[in-house]
Amino acid sequence: MDITKEQSLNIRGLTILLAVIHNYVFRLMGINCNEFLFSQDHINHFLAHVWSFQFPWYMVSFAVWPLVACFFFLSGYGLTKKYGEEPLNKGLYIKKHLFKLWALFIPVFVVYVVLFYGVFGHPWNIPSIIAQLTLTINPLCYGENAFVIEPGIYWFLGVIFQLYLLFLVFRRFKRSWLWVLMGAFIVVHYLVLYLTNNDVLMWCRINFIGWGTPFLLGMIAAKTPLNLSKRQNAIVCLLSATMMLLCVTNKFLVPLSEISGVVLGVSLSRIFRLKVLAWLGAISASIYVVHPLLKMVFYEMEPNSILLSMAVYFVLSIALSWLYSLLVKALSPNKPISR
């Protein structure tokens, strides 16, 4: 399957747009979706608001989790297309991706820590700060320790680094074995969902176990020739949107929600291409690390008007993220890592 740069940027742009909105309004509006755990009550609450003015916000919140899988899918796809089965300098590969994440994350996180602990007076948690900085916070988050450190939204960095490391193993598998491995991840998800509690489920979902499926699907897509017409993509888009709605509202289909989200994101990018989404996609990494900082500041201010504060928060997030992306690009080296 060939995914163009423009299509990739549109997928990233749509996903980060929904994520920025969701991450701000879900707590202020009391919208509980099944991101890190599963609750039938959350689904019932969602369905009860179908005819409510809040339903669009519920749709965004419940759609974000499956669509976030697109980022992991594109990572698996991009790594496979870039490195394939060619000899790779593993040490340089790890160093490059680690420093890339640090360069993106640390400057903003330092500001976050200063504001969160120094200005707003929250109790200091040095071990958690160190764990966040070293991208080891994910496996340490369990039960009462889950998301003790703010901002919990940076869980993505730890997961993607875990998958960067696992790629060194996965890339040795042939496509048929990648399918088998992806099936194993789905089975594990079912076992965790039905045989354990929400603490275990949350731990899996903030580590590679929860995201191995879309990552491997991306690797498979990079190795699979597939070209669909615009009409065929429209049919796939409609079916995947229906499937995603069923997945997020039916416990038995929950482990398949990431797949439906990926298929929806890819099919949408082949039908609709918006320059504004492509632009957002180009700075999506910066938006991801910057917007939690502004969200925290606005939460501490306790806004009276949710919609007005969200509009200001959104505009500031995009503007600061654009400036930050220019800074990161200017300071980031780009050295080859193949032998």
Digit-coded pLDDT (tens) for 219-269? 999 998 878 888 888 999 999 999 999 999 999 999 999 999 999 999 999
Q: Which residues of the chain have pLDDT under 50?
A: 151, 338-339
| 102 CB burial (10 A radius; 0-12, 13-18, 19+) | middle
Nearest-CA neighbor of 114 among 135, 132, 129?
A: 129
Count the neighbouring beta carbons within 10 Å of the beta carbon of residue 260. Answer: 23
Nearest-CA neighbor of 289 among 120, 125, 145, 160?
A: 160
SS3 at position 338: strand
Looking at residue 211, what is its pLDDT? 95
Q: Across-strand partners of 88?
A: 338
Place of tokens 């499937």: 243
Looking at residue 330, what is its pLDDT? 81
Count the neighbouring beta carbons within 10 Å of the beta carbon of residue 91. Answer: 9
Looking at residue 67, what is its pLDDT? 93
Looking at residue 339, what is its pLDDT? 43
Evaluate the CA torsion angle 179, 182, 188, 191 in order and state its sign: negative
Looking at residue 201, what is its pLDDT? 92
What is the chain's length?
339
Rg (CA), the chain: 20
Looking at residue 221, what is its pLDDT? 93
